[in-house]
Amino acid sequence: MTTLLAMDWGPLWLTMQLAGVTVVVLLALGTPLAWWLAFTKSRMRTPVEAVVALPLVLPPTVLGFYLLTAMGPHGPVGGPWKAFTGSALSFTFTGLVIASTLYSLPFVVQPLQGAFEAVGTKPMEVARSLRASRLDAFFTVASPMALRGYVSAIVLGFAHTLGEFGVVLMVGGNIPGVTKVLSIAIYDHVESLEYTQAHVLSAALLVLSFLILTIVYAINRRLPVRAA
Amino acid sequence: MRQLTARFRCDYPGVRFDIECALPLEGTTALCGVSGSGKTTLLRWIAGLPPAASGFLSFAGDVWQDDARKIFVPIERRRVGVVFQEPLLFPHLNVEDNLAYGMKRTPPSHRRIAFEQVIEMLGLAPFLQRRTQRLSGGEQRRVSIGRALLTSPQLLLMDEPLAFLDQERKREIFPFIGWLNRELGIPVVYVSHDLNEVLQLARHVVLMKRGSIAAAGPVQDIFARPDLPELAESNVVGAVLDTRIAEHEPQFGLTRVEFFGRSLFIPQQDLPVGASLRIQIPACDVSVTTDLQPASGSALNVLEATVVEIGQTPGNGHAVDVTLDAGRPLLARITRKSCQRLNLNVGQKVHAHFKAVALHS
Nearest CA to B176 out of B145, B206, B197 is that of B145
- Asked whether the beta carbons of residue B91 and residue A224 sit closer than 8 angstroms, the reply is yes
Q: Is B107 on the interface with A (CB under 8 A)?
A: no
Query: Taking CB atoms and an 8 Å cutoff, what residues of chain B touch A129?
Result: 47, 49, 75-76, 80-82, 102, 148
- If interface means Cβ-Cβ distance under 8 Å, which residues of chain A face chain B? 121-123, 125-133, 136, 140-141, 144-145, 147, 224, 226
C-alpha–C-alpha distance, residues A64 and A96, integer Å: 10
The per-residue pLDDT for range A125-140, each reduced to its tens digit, is 999 999 999 999 999 9
- In the structure, what pLDDT confidence band is assigned to residue A226 with cuts at 50, 70 and 90? low
Q: Break chain A into its structural domains and give their ranges.
A: 9-222
Residue A140 C-alpha, separation from nearest chain B C-alpha, in angstroms: 10
Which domains are present in chain B?
3-231 (3.40.50.300), 238-359 (2.40.50.100)
- In the structure, what pLDDT confidence band is assigned to residue A166 with cuts at 50, 70 and 90? confident
pLDDT at B47 over 60: yes
Query: Cα B85–A122–A140 angle (5° rounding)?
Result: 125
Ramachandran area for residue B228 (φ above 0: left; ψ -120 to 50: alpha; else beta)? beta
Q: Where is B27: in which H helix or E strand? A: none
Residue type, B96: E
In this predicted structure, what is the pLDDT of residue A140?
97
Residue A177 C-alpha, separation from nearest chain B C-alpha, in angstroms: 43
C-alpha–C-alpha distance, residues B227 and B116, integer Å: 47
- Asked whether the beta carbons of residue B49 and residue A123 sit closer than 8 angstroms, the reply is no
Give the relative orientation of helices B95-104 and B137-149 as an angle to the nearest 10 degrees: 20
Nearest CB partner across the interface for B76, out of A122, A133, A144: A133
C-alpha–C-alpha distance, residues A69 and A72, integer Å: 5
First to last CA, chain A: 51
Nearest CB partner across the interface for B106, out of A131, A147, A224: A131
- Complex confidence, ipTM: 0.84
- In the structure, what pLDDT confidence band is assigned to residue A227 with cuts at 50, 70 and 90? very low
CB atoms within 10 A of CB A225: 11
Instruction: Identify the bridge partners of residue B23 per DSSP, sorted by sequence position.
Output: B4
C-alpha–C-alpha distance, residues B361 and B359, integer Å: 6
Please answer whether residues A167 and A60 qualify as being in contact, where contact means their C-beta atoms are separated by less than 8 angstroms.
yes
Nearest CA to B257 out of B356, B328, B361 is that of B356
Query: Taking CB atoms and an 8 Å cutoff, what residues of chain B touch A147?
Result: 92
Residue B105 C-alpha, separation from nearest chain A C-alpha, in angstroms: 6
CATH class of A9-222: mainly alpha
Residue A52 C-alpha, separation from nearest chain B C-alpha, in angstroms: 28
Instruction: Identify the bridge partners of residue B54 per DSSP, sorted by sequence position.
Output: none
- Asked whether the beta carbons of residue A131 and residue B88 sit closer than 8 angstroms, the reply is no
A-facing residues of B in 163-202 (CB < 8 A) are none
Helical segments of chain B, H only? 39-47, 95-104, 115-122, 137-149, 167-179, 195-201, 219-223, 229-232, 336-342
Calculate the dihedral angle through the C-alpha atoms of A176, A178, A179, A180, rounding to the nearest 10 degrees: 20
